[in-house]
Amino acid sequence: MIELLAAGPEDTRELGEAVAGFLEPGDVVVLTGDLGAGKTTFVQGAARGLGVDRGVVSPTFTLVREYVGRVPVRHVDVYRLDRVQEVIDLGLEDLLSEDAVVFVEWGDVVAALLPEDHLEVELFVRPEDQGRMVIVSATGPSWARRWERLEGATERWAAPGSNGRGET
């Protein structure tokens, strides 16, 4: 686990862009956090880092948005779905392909349907300064081999009082 701080929206985008440098086709990134915590803002930066040159917007009402970059990007939002069957009907399994990077907002709700090998990004609003606390964690063998380099690339955002790894 890595504990990070982003001062504002552009800083959150820059963090997303830094993380994108470690994303590969087939990766799934699960985004969690309260409404307005910066999930879509993070995806905007990550998409920029993956070569997407058009504006990334929330898929809350469309459920899925697809973008062309160096790697195809799929941005999924399952917030409005009430039942697992709705997620299955959405075709989430088909969206998780080896050719694209898939970002799933509110992905903790559908964790059982996601691959074990994925990155999780939790975002929280810091009431004291309106910045964002960002906690990044990963599971699976593909992230084990990339983890140390990801820690180094995100060191700039390390939370004060931690070593960037969630340890104080």
Judge whether 136 and 150 are in contact, CB under 8 Å. Answer: yes
pLDDT tens string 117-135: 999 999 999 988 889 999 9
- pLDDT for 3 beyond 80: yes
Judge whether 45 and 20 are in contact, CB under 8 Å. Answer: yes
pLDDT for 168 equals 37
- pLDDT for 81 beyond 60: no
pLDDT for 167 equals 47
pLDDT for 45 equals 96
How many residues does the structure list for the chain? 168
Mean pLDDT (the chain) is: 84
pLDDT tens string 37-72: 999 999 999 999 999 998 887 766 556 788 889 999
Strands (E) in 34-150, as ranges, are 64-67, 73-77, 101-105, 118-125, 132-139
Domains of the chain with CATH codes? 2-157 (3.40.50.300)
The Cα 18–Cα 137 span in angstroms is 15
Least confident of 22-31, 79-88, 113-122: 79-88
